[in-house]
Amino acid sequence: MSFAHPFVLALTLLAVAALLWGLRALDRRRSADALAYSNLAFLEAAAATRVPWPAIVAGVWALAAACFGVALAGPHLVAPVAVRDGAVALCIDTSGSMSATDVQPTRADAALRAVRAFIDSVPDGTRISIVAFSSSAAVIMPASDDKDAVRDALARIPAPNGGTAIGDALDVAARSLPPVRHRAIVLVTDGVNNAGSDPLEVAPQIGATGTTIDTVGIGTSGSGLLIPGTSEEADLDESALRAVAEAGHGAYARVGDADALARRLSDIARSTTVEPRRIDASFPLAIAGGTIMIVATFGAFGLGRFP
Amino acid sequence: MNGLRAAIVRGARRTRRRGDGVHAPRSGDGYEFVQLRGYEEGDDPRRIDWAATARVGSLQTRVFLEETSLVLAAFIDESASMRVGRKRRLTDAADDALRAWFGAAESEDRTLRIVDDRIVNGTRPALHARAARPFDLRRTLTFAAHVLPVGASLLAVLDGFDLPAEESPSAGPVDELLLAVAARCDATVLLARDPWYDGLPLRGLRRVRDAESGRSRLLYFGRRARERFVAAVAEREKRLTARFRNAGWRVGALDETDGRASLDRAFGLIGALDFAPAGA
């Protein structure tokens, strides 16, 4: 939090402290007019209430005064704000290794479930496109803010088959994004790039346009599946995925089960569709102070503090 | 002889417990016949009027005027805790009671007041004496137990706030002093009734000051707090009364509006106040 007029804050807080001190002194001076009772300890023990009302009233007044003081100082917050007009491209790996069952029920089904969670989590108004890729990449759903249409499009994702063209997928995803200010690509894959363009060359170009790339590696090592046409085991090229994410100013994460994948995509949905924004908190604080002041005043009337 | 004096004389003559509850007649009964009355436990059997007993059908005792003069002693709690009240201070009511007490004295009687650790003799000096030190019940009782003549009639007016709680370790010695004084004198105590015994006039957040120390606190008085206060005052009065009665004292309530009437009530001359507050 920063303040436009920090000296006003200091002065106001000093003024509030002086006011409270003055009120306290006045209250003490009034003790001469207070009802004299033979034995205050007996009265306290007999009629004491467990709720510290005097402290609560003083605390509420102090809070209201502090709200006004801070509001006068022009506070500014940098807070994550949901981007209503953002666009996200989901790149889903449909290579043959996605049929592996090390992630229950299969990597492909877990990915679909996670994509649904992603769609549920993004703010309304965010445009989502779906890109499926194996040996080549294709747009399954062009960018749309109609979440139902995007969910329906998931049915058109092909069954696992073929190689892994991560570079092509990134390129197609970048082209599917509309020219809006906030763009992001989320890549979900379980393999090593073995077809099409080199993702390590494509990613920096995309990153340079301001598009964020988040990568998620799915699957456990030693699934037993081979890369089609080779005798190599299907395993993640984590260093490449990490490098892609870095080039796209995003993050890489590896998940080993369906729930973790769904959680990760939900997190990405929230983080990639928000942006830090500087907010002037003066008005809300002044409103809060006023509300608290009204509540405190009525509360004080109720407690017999006034007139 | 005024009614109060007669009551004091009767009280001075009454038999009292000694030690483990054995009743013993007081010495000093006179020979001037006053009245016949029903036999009371502890009366000297030699005083039973058998002829009257035969006529009435129940034991009758002859009462004689005590020929020895009275010693009317008194002490008052003059501490700040007694200088409170609704319309007038409790100390003013205590002064009323004191004037009535010493006003019952006749020429042959002796009046004395315990102030601090000294005896002030004579009605006028006793009425106008003022304590120079804070009231200390234990010290005053100790002094009374040692210096008051045996058979004296003692009036004490206090609020009982400096009486140690029954569960306190210091309660035992004070209770023993109460017993000792009651064994030596015909002791009467007027317990200052809390001016707000029937309800605190406070609502909501109010500052209350301790009359003794001057310390003040901001307290919240809700409906339940006021109800708890009334119940606590009634309970305190009940316990104080029982404590003094168990020690052999005659107990009355000092009402701030009329100390004289409070004294009369203590001696049963007028109807007693309902000691338990209304609604308690």
- In the chain, the amino acid numbered B80 is A
What residue in B sits closest to A24 (Cα-Cα)? B218
Q: Are residues A292 and A268 in the same domain?
A: no
pLDDT at A231: 64
pLDDT at B269: 81
Q: Are residues A29 and A173 in the same domain?
A: no
Q: Are residues A228 and A180 in the same domain?
A: yes
Q: What is the ipTM of this complex?
A: 0.76
Q: Are residues A217 and A144 in the same domain?
A: yes
Please check the confidence at residue A243 and state whether its pLDDT lies above 70: yes
> What is A21-78 written as a DSSP string?
HHHHHHHHHGGGGSEEES-HHHHHHHH--SS-HHHHHHHHHHHHHHHHHHHHT-EEEE
* pLDDT category of residue A234 using cuts at 50, 70 and 90: low
pLDDT at A227: 55
Q: Are residues A255 and A166 in the same domain?
A: yes
* pLDDT category of residue B25 using cuts at 50, 70 and 90: very low
Inter-chain residue contact B207 with A305, CB threshold 8 Å: no
Chain B residues inside the 8 Å CB shell of A59: none
Contacts of range A18-25, beta carbons closer than 8 Å, 24 or more positions apart: A19/A65, A20/A58, A20/A61, A20/A62, A20/A65
CA distances (Å), origin A218, targets A162, A223, A235, A249, B173? 17, 11, 9, 20, 85
Inter-chain residue contact B226 with A42, CB threshold 8 Å: no
Q: Are residues A37 and A88 in the same domain?
A: no
Domain that holds residue A56: 2-74+281-302
Count of structural domains within chain A: 2
Please check the confidence at residue B27 and state whether its pLDDT lies above 60: no
How far the first Cα of chain B sits from its last, in Å, is 39
Please check the confidence at residue A111 and state whether its pLDDT lies above 90: no
CATH code of the domain covering residue A108: 3.40.50.410
Mean pLDDT, rounded, for B212-239: 87
* pLDDT category of residue B20 using cuts at 50, 70 and 90: very low
Chain A residues inside the 8 Å CB shell of B201: 35
pLDDT at B279: 38
Q: Nearest C-alpha of chain A: how many angstroms from B204?
A: 4
What residue in A sits closest to B83 (Cα-Cα)? A38
- In the chain, the amino acid numbered B218 is L
Q: Are residues A246 and A137 in the same domain?
A: yes
Q: Is the residue at A129 inside a domain?
A: yes
Q: What is the pLDDT of residues B89-137, one digit of tens each?
A: 999 999 999 999 999 998 888 999 999 889 998 888 888 888 888 899 9
Q: Which of A87-96, B76-85, B162-171 has the highest mean pLDDT?
A: B76-85
Please check the confidence at residue B183 and state whether its pLDDT lies above 80: yes
Q: Which of A34, A45, A53 sits opposite B216 (nearest CB)?
A: A34
Domains of chain B in sequence order: 3-65 (no CATH), 71-266 (3.40.50)
Q: Are B214 and B180 in contact (CB under 8 A)?
A: no
Among the listed ranges A45-59, A116-130, B209-223, which one has the minimum average pLDDT value? Answer: A45-59
pLDDT at A221: 64
* pLDDT category of residue B278 using cuts at 50, 70 and 90: very low
> What is B99-120 written as a DSSP string?
HHHHHT--TT-EEEEEETTEEE
Q: Are residues A98 and A186 in the same domain?
A: yes
Please check the confidence at residue B3 and state whether its pLDDT lies above 70: yes
